[in-house]
A and B are shown apart, each in its own frame.
Chain A
Amino acid sequence: MHYRFRALLPALCSVAWLGTTGAFAQAPANVAKTTAAAKVTENKAWTPPRTADGKPDLQGVWSNATNVPLERPAEGRGGRARGPAQPGTAADVHYDLSQYGLDRAHSKVAEDDRTSLVTTPDGRIPPRLPEAQQRAAARAAFTREHQWDGPETRPLSERCILWPSEGPPMLSPGYNSNVQIVQGPGYVVIEQEMIHDARIIPTDGRPHLAANVRQWMGDSTGHWEGDTLVVDTTNFTDKTAFQGSTDTLHVVERFTRVANDTLQYEFTVEDPHTWAQPWSAKTFWTKTDDHIYEYACQEGNHGMANNLSGARAVERQAEEAARKQSK
């Protein structure tokens, strides 16, 4: 969970920051609570409205922000609820996160007092297989040596190719946690604001793409089981690497609207080259009145150019210093 913040800070490419210091304002009033009737336990008595072709209507703009960590923190005592973020903590002195919508506390979140999204008994992702650990170690070593070599060694978000939280599975990126669902006959389209990626999911039972066609977000097909949309995704590239996985990643997501403004989002992840068994997680999205804005990442990507030219400048300085020393 914490890695996401570290990755986010260098990658604030679309935002012109002014460098003003500032603490949080008081906890904003729009840390939303969902209605009591839609509290996180599934309320099976509620039936969703229907689209014109008789399918459960999941449409709208949803916030998938959450205060629940993906994995239960190692130090957390089991079962203890966490409250919303406290004012005055975890503020970065360089940015006024509240001014530019980067303040997670500004996002609408569903009330959820679980200690992890992951639904394994210990609330943690199962341990990775040895081959996955080796891959991760090799990747880390390579990154340490080469992280400023060029664009290919930078994080996907900094390259404006893909936000890692987009998945699938879809997790909250921390800001711009907005997802819009549109349904037409035979299709469900899910657009994630960051980075304006629309997943077009056919529900006509067609097979997946051929095995040699790989995509960053894989290939998704969907079907309905009762009032739940089940989406099956394969054909990932080996560069997607969700949680260190490979191109044999297989994700099954389940979308159920459990209340007027609450969408229950569950997913199961498996990859025989990364985990010994599948694992699952569950979270809740809450409806917002907002709309999806354009996230023109590539078009404003000063971060990448500045990082690389900064790295080249640092190298030149080091060479200069070395030359002077050897004189």
Chain B
Amino acid sequence: MRNQFQTAGTAGVWALLALAALPVAAQTAYRAPRMADGHANLNGIWQVMNTANWDLRGHAAAMGRVVALGSEDAMPPGLGVIEGGEEIPYLPAAMAKREQNYNNRLKDDPEVKCYLPGVPRATYMPYPFQIVQSTKTIMFSYEYAGAVRVINMDKPTKSPADSWMGWSNGHWEGDTLVIDVTGFNEDSWLDRVGDYHSDALHVVERYTPRSAETMNYEATIEDSKVFSRPWKISMPLYRHVEKNAQLLEFKCVEFVEELLYGPLRKKPRANP
């Protein structure tokens, strides 16, 4: 935020000093530290601070899905993350499934069952993730469900089979890591209110360092079976700066066994 305390005079002095210090127009874009191969160093533990996982659109607070959880399950309010508008451009024929998803979200949201989150949802889950970048490989390790993606930084290859997390081919455009993701199955969702995709999903992500502790994340989403045109989300990623930050295990498979297999127990649990 601009310092509003500056008077015009002080601003003028700073401008003169800035001009004196630099032979060319001042470069205001942040320049990240370098890896040995000259690329921007994106290593670190990152996390979003928004409610995109609840709903990609801007949304007011709302009552939750489970009465017994009261305020803990209530939807928090949030500004949307969709660029240039508030609506996701569903094809008219695709809206019915979106409605159905929303109405059945407690049963059908794959997150409830600890299924892999897919892309881009993995980025904005309310858990940190770690970018592990060497000069040979870039790996994204997500705390949620231990999801992981290895980004192919060599010549792009084709996905041999559909998967939850898709098939990632990456390259650099300056300091922006661009990842082209295809090869999705149709089983993940984009948020908790039932926004979804088909196996034609194609996501292009862009990770751009913007300061020592923040990164810009953008994802362009297209899916000719579900959306009428490509659309884009964007949000900052915040670095975890606490001492000894580390991802911990969130192996939620164990926590959903009662949900998935409780009715198949020999004896129902007294207090599931």
Contacts and interface: CB of A to CB of B under 8 A. Distances in A.
- A–B contact, 8 Å CB criterion (strictly below): yes
B60 to A, nearest CB: 5
A290 interface: no
A214 interface: yes
Contact of B58 (A185, A186, A209, A237): A209
Contacts of B86: 210-212
Contact of A213 (B1, B4, B5, B58): B58
A215 to B, nearest CB: 6
Contacts of B256: none
B5 A210 contact: no
A6 B222 CA distance: 57
A81 B4 CA distance: 46
A185 B80 contact: no
A186 B59 contact: no
A184 B4 CA distance: 11
Contacts of A211: 86
Interface residues of B, number: 11
Specify the main secondary structure of chain A where it touches its partner. loop
B202 interface: no
B212 interface: no
B4 A210 contact: no
Contact of A53 (B5, B60, B79): B5
Nearest to B82: A210
B57 interface: yes
B76 interface: no
Counting chain B CB atoms within 10 Å of each CB, the highest count among A185, A186, A212, A213 belongs to A213
A215 B60 CA distance: 7
Interface in B21-63: 57-60
Nearest to B61: A215
Nearest to B78: A213
Interface residues of A, number: 12
Contacts of A1: none
Nearest to B7: A54
A36 interface: no
Contact of B4 (A185, A209, A212, A214): A185
A214 B86 CA distance: 14
A247 to B, nearest CB: 11
Interface in A197-245: 209-215, 237
A53 B4 contact: yes
A52 interface: yes
B89 interface: no
B16 to A, nearest CB: 23
A186 B3 CA distance: 10
B77 interface: yes
A152 to B, nearest CB: 11
A217 to B, nearest CB: 11
A185 B58 CA distance: 26
Specify the main secondary structure of chain B where it touches its partner. loop
Contacts of A185: 1, 4-5
B173 to A, nearest CB: 30
Interface in B183-232: none
Contacts of B5: 52-53, 185
B89 to A, nearest CB: 15
A209 B59 CA distance: 10
Contacts of B60: 213-215, 237
Counting chain A CB atoms within 10 Å of each CB, the highest count among B5, B58, B60 belongs to B60
A199 B186 CA distance: 43
A234 to B, nearest CB: 13
Interface string B1-25: 1001100000000000000000000
A56 B40 CA distance: 46
A242 B57 CA distance: 27
Interface string B56-75: 01111000000000000000
Contacts of B4: 53, 185-186
Contact of B79 (A52, A209, A214, A237): A209
A168 B189 CA distance: 39
A208 to B, nearest CB: 11
A212 B1 contact: no
Interface string B107-136: 000000000000000000000000000000
Interface in B130-176: none
A53 B86 CA distance: 35
Nearest to A211: B86
18 contacts: A52-B5, A53-B4, A53-B5, A185-B1, A185-B4, A185-B5, A186-B4, A209-B58, A209-B79, A210-B57, A210-B58, A210-B86, A212-B57, A212-B59, A212-B86, A213-B59, A213-B60, A237-B60
- What are the 8 A-B residue pairs with the smallest beta carbon separation, nearest first? A210-B58, A210-B86, A213-B58, A185-B4, A53-B4, A213-B60, A214-B60, A215-B60
Interface of A: 52-53, 185-186, 209-215, 237
Given A210-B58, A212-B57, A213-B60, 12 more contacts: A52-B5, A53-B4, A185-B1, A185-B4, A185-B5, A186-B1, A186-B4, A209-B79, A210-B86, A211-B86, A212-B59, A215-B77
